[in-house]
């Protein structure tokens, strides 16, 4: 039971730490930008265009790293599949009856199929993002 708890902890930390760090850094960066703009505004060095941009951007949430959540989901599924294979290789010495081996086979097949679906979604989404970006000439 202890190994399962360790596996769950590894997966949870792997998935949450980058998201929390991204949120923290994005809001800190946005706060620094607001402080700079407020200082410029208090010194009357803010142009009309900068003021318009400041007002427009002040209500928005910071964007963070584009595609981070999708990448974390894909990598977490890869990590889960890797942990499952690692666990099976590490604890292979225990005798498995035919029912257990069939269950293991089904779970690994399901995880591999999920990995293929997420990989297709990830790269398909990236292709759409690149296609939607306006070309600068």
pLDDT at 133: 60
Q: In the Cβ-directed half-sphere of 65, how many Cα atoms lie within 13 Å?
A: 14
Task: Note the pLDDT of residue 14.
Answer: 92
- Mean pLDDT along residues 102-119: 81
Closest alpha carbon to 7 in 70, 99, 81, 93: 81
Indicate whether this model's pTM tops 0.75: no
> pLDDT tens across 42-67, in order?
777 777 787 777 777 777 777 778 87
Higher pLDDT, 15 or 130: 15
Flag whether pLDDT at 137 surpasses 50: no
More reliable by pLDDT, 1 or 86 = 86
Res 20: pLDDT: 93
Question: Residue 90: pLDDT band by 50, 70, 90 thresholds?
Answer: confident
Buried b (16+ CB within 10 A) or exposed e, 13-39: eebeebeeebeeeeeeebeeeeeebee
pLDDT score, position 17:
94
Q: What is the pLDDT of residue 18?
A: 92
């Amino acid at each position: 039971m202890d190994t399962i708890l360790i596996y769950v902890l590894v997966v949870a930390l792997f998935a949450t730490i980058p998201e929390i760090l991204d949120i923290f850094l994005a809001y800190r960066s946005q706060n620094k930008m607001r402080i700079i703009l407020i200082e410029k505004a208090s010194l009357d060095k803010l142009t009309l265009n900068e003021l318009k941009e400041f007002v427009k951007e002040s209500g928005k949430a910071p964007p963070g790293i584009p595609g981070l959540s999708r990448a974390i989901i894909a990598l977490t599924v890869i990590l889960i599949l890797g942990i499952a294979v690692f666990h099976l290789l590490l604890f292979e010495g225990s005798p498995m009856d035919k029912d257990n081996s069939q269950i293991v086979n089904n779970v690994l097949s399901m995880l591999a199929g999920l990995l293929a679906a997420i990989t297709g979604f990830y790269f398909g989404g990236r292709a759409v993002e690149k296609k939607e970006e306006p070309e600068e000439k």
